[in-house]
Amino acid sequence: MTRAIRHDDPEWTGPVPAVAPVSRGARASMARRSGRGRSPYPHWFYLPVGLVFVAIFVVPTGMAFFYSLTRWTLFDWEFIGLANFRQFFREPALVKGLRNTLVFAVVTSGSKVVLGMALAMLVTSRIKLKGTIRSIVFFPVLVSTVAVGITFKVMMHPTKGLINTTIDAIGLAGPKWLTDPQIALLSVAFVDIWKGVGLATVIFIAGIVSIPSELPESVSVDGGGAWARFRHVILPLSKPATFTVILLSFIGGLRTFDLIWTMTGGGPGFTTDVLASTIYKNYQAGFYGLSTAGNVVLFIVVTLLVFPLNWYLRRRELAT
Amino acid sequence: MSSRSKAIASISAVVVAAAAALAAPAAASTDTTEPAGDGEPAEELAGGEDVTLSLLVDNTETTVLLTEGLTSAFSELHPNVSFDVEQRPGGADGDNIVKTRLATDEMTDVFIYNSGSLLQALNPQETLVDLAGEPFLGNVVDEFIPTVSQGDGVYGVPFGTGIGGGVLYNRETFDEHGLSVPTTWEEFAANNETLLDAGVTPVGASFGTTWTSQLFVLADYYNVAEEVPEFAEAYTANEAHYADTPAALRSFERLQDAYDSGWWNEDYGSATYEDALQMLIDGDIAQYPMLTFALSEINALDAEAAQSIGFFAQPGEDAESNGMTLWMPAGAYIAATTEHEDVAKAFLAFIASVEGTEVQTAAAAPGGPYMIEGATLPDDVLPAVQDVQSYIDAGNFGPALEFLSPLKGPNLEQITVEVGSGLRSAEDAAALYDEDVEKQAQQLGLPGW
């Protein structure tokens, strides 16, 4: 790895992400191969995957845009223009749902970045039980979200749950994790972080491991301590990993549903409703047009938030 | 108004018929062994070929017990018919499953689902088999028929019993503290203060099972109708609403009152329906606002304790007009996609026969009166069911709003959780519920919305 970089780019000075030279090389060779010239493969090779894409993505999306303009009972529909959207924006749970969605996305993705980075530092350092810790951190990622939600719902029961009985045992009173409207959303966010931090850690590990070992070493030679190594070498060089984690967990947070639904069902009342659960409840109620309109809104909201974020992060990434 | 007085008349007729049947019990029941409907000898269903009838039922204890009883009794009568029973969750999840399966032609041959407003949203004219004109509908109490009808079609027969909506209470706790059954909200509040002073939790709430939060609002409808008899019609026509009808708004205020007065158990937010029933049996709560179908489950949990559970109607403003809100039984329906329509109809005929009700009584403790002409309750019914029966005998009862109007807002249970948890005021909640109802009305395409 290190040799390849030196060989490839002897003039290398700045903190370019370590993976960049490799991918740059790969990209260059691919460009050379396809280039302006004709691809050696006929275009109809695209056909099978194109058909799948059209059948299960383009057509349903188009239908969703259409049905969002109708009052739809699954059995028949009536065109009502933008009335669903007007209705959806008047939805009492919507404002709260939008706020909750953003709070949830920001809290979970922020925590995953910080905790994921810390854990990645821990398991890439020279400590015992490295492999075991890695497995423990990653394990929750493998468990089904619904199972996690149900398990934590039981554990967070205010009187009979494991968490509060433990707190009781040391003489304190635990809060009503999921039924106190002040903290219910944060309790769910905590579980989401517990479940998702393993993936963030793995991405960070990949980023940190690919940093050439000479760089932190040279900081040590220059008399820098552990903090300087982290602050001036590891943190800037794992920027691509950081951006990947932010983007993935932010999108995940925006469209989160399964965990909230299994743990609180949006309750108590509407206090932990997010966009997706508001939409789902409309679907349950049989307001199919209205809930489809909600999905169109979710589509637009995610797009409006993620595209600029992606663009900004990309730019930062290239600038460094 | 007129439909309510009709309800009273026809149910009194049942009671009279029941009394007559009691006089000659054996004769009355053996006559109806033959399921009405297809005229063929019982064993010759489907020409004697083996038929498996698929069935979708909700997973409440009572429904499961009734289903087991009815299917095994029917298979005994018709050895060539067997059943494939699937369970589904109740509440909004269950609504969703039923609607989706009907819309995608994946429904079982026969399924159990609510009568009244929820049925209206299933588009029965296209998805269900119309039973109008079937002879076995003659066994069904007239009052039930409109709750399973749309247009000229009749789509179901009653499954289970009529159900009282009000307050279940622990009679031992009441005796211990010298309390009597309240007939006004004031007396109810005074009882609760006595219990609070004695260190007993007066009223159970179980918002962990969200639908249970609606009881104080829905079971108050008898009181609403006493004050505003034309409410149901005006409400369906978009002329009266919860927020602008003081009597109806009061239903939400009851719930707020209960929270403000500190009547709930401490874990009201996370306790489930099952938890609350157990607390009631154990005397940890003195009263639990609930439908009497819970009695079968209480009986299954602890048959001895069930003997000390009583029932009273939700108290209103005036002791003179005290009465009970009555829920109609769920219905058994046949999906239009069935390939065994004749067998399915014979099964429905069996459910709607006096013999069918006897099978049901043996399978699960009845929670109220049957909606079948000539059906009787055994003498040893639970005391709470006798309480229900006494309201019916006195004529002091009326159907819940969801059986008089196709409108029921889907978010009521979340709204009532908020009111019952002190997160939203009664006025605010009523206005919000009116908006919820508006969506439902538009979706159903009702005139005037």
B200-220: per-residue pLDDT in tens?
999 999 999 999 999 999 999
CA distance B136 to B147: 17
CA distance A65 to A84: 12
Q: Does residue B236 share a domain with residue B125?
A: no
Per-chain mean pLDDT for chain B: 88
Interchain pair A269, B424: CB under 8 A: yes
User: Half-sphere exposure of B259 toward its Cβ, with a 13 Å CA cutoff?
Assistant: 22
Which of B209, B439, B449 has the most A C-beta neighbours within 10 Å, making it the best mutation to test the interface with A?
B439
Q: Does residue B169 share a domain with residue B55?
A: no
Number of domains in chain A: 1
Q: Does residue B301 share a domain with residue B203?
A: yes
Give residue A133's domain range.
Answer: 95-319
Q: Does residue B425 share a domain with residue B412?
A: yes
Q: Is B336 on the interface with A (CB under 8 A)?
A: no
Residue B388 lies in a domain: no
Residue B338 lies in a domain: yes
What is the predicted pLDDT for the residue at B190? 97
Q: Is B278 on the interface with A (CB under 8 A)?
A: no
Residue B387 lies in a domain: no
Residue A117 lies in a domain: yes
Q: Does residue B410 share a domain with residue B360?
A: no
Q: Does residue B425 share a domain with residue B313?
A: yes
ipTM of the complex: 0.76
Write the CATH number for A238.
Answer: 1.10.3720.10
Interchain pair B207, A267: CB under 8 A: yes
Instruction: pLDDT band for B27, please (50, 70, 90 cuts).
Output: very low
Residue B449 lies in a domain: no
Which residues, including other chains, have CB under 8 Å from residue B57's CB and lie 6 or more apart?
B63, B64, B67, B85, B86, B87, B88, B111, B112
Which of B99, B122, B444 has the most A C-beta neighbours within 10 Å, making it the best mutation to test the interface with A?
B99
pTM of the model as a whole = 0.80
What is the predicted pLDDT for the residue at B271? 92
Residue B389 lies in a domain: no
Closest residue of chain A to B432, computed from CA coordinates: A92
SS3 call for B3: helix
What is the predicted pLDDT for the residue at B438? 92
Query: Is B215:B291 a contact under the CB 8 Å cutoff?
Result: yes
- Please tell me the distance in Å from B447's CA to the nearest CA on chain A: 15
Residue B392 lies in a domain: no
Give residue B148's domain range.
Answer: 2-162+329-377
Q: Does residue B307 share a domain with residue B171?
A: yes
Size of interface A-B (CB pairs under 8 A): 88
Residue A313 lies in a domain: yes
Which residue, A169, A170, A187, is CA-closest to A178?
Answer: A187
Q: Does residue B192 share a domain with residue B126?
A: no
Residue A35 lies in a domain: no
Q: Does residue B198 share a domain with residue B289?
A: yes
Query: Is B146:B308 a contact under the CB 8 Å cutoff?
Result: no
Q: Is A175 on the interface with B (CB under 8 A)?
A: no
Q: Does residue B372 share a domain with residue B230?
A: no
Cα distances from A16 to residues A5, A239, A245, B316, in angstroms, run: 11, 10, 19, 76
Q: Is A88 on the interface with B (CB under 8 A)?
A: no
Interchain pair B121, A286: CB under 8 A: yes
Q: Does residue B297 share a domain with residue B185?
A: yes
Between A21-30, A208-217, A274-283, the lowest mean confidence (pLDDT) is in A21-30
What is the predicted pLDDT for the residue at A4? 40
Instruction: pLDDT band for B123, please (50, 70, 90 cuts).
Output: confident
Write the CATH number for B145.
Answer: 3.40.190.10
Number of domains in chain B: 2
Q: List pLDDT tens digits, range A7-43.
A: 344 444 444 444 444 444 444 444 444 445 677 888 8
Between A67-76, A199-208, A234-243, the lowest mean confidence (pLDDT) is in A67-76
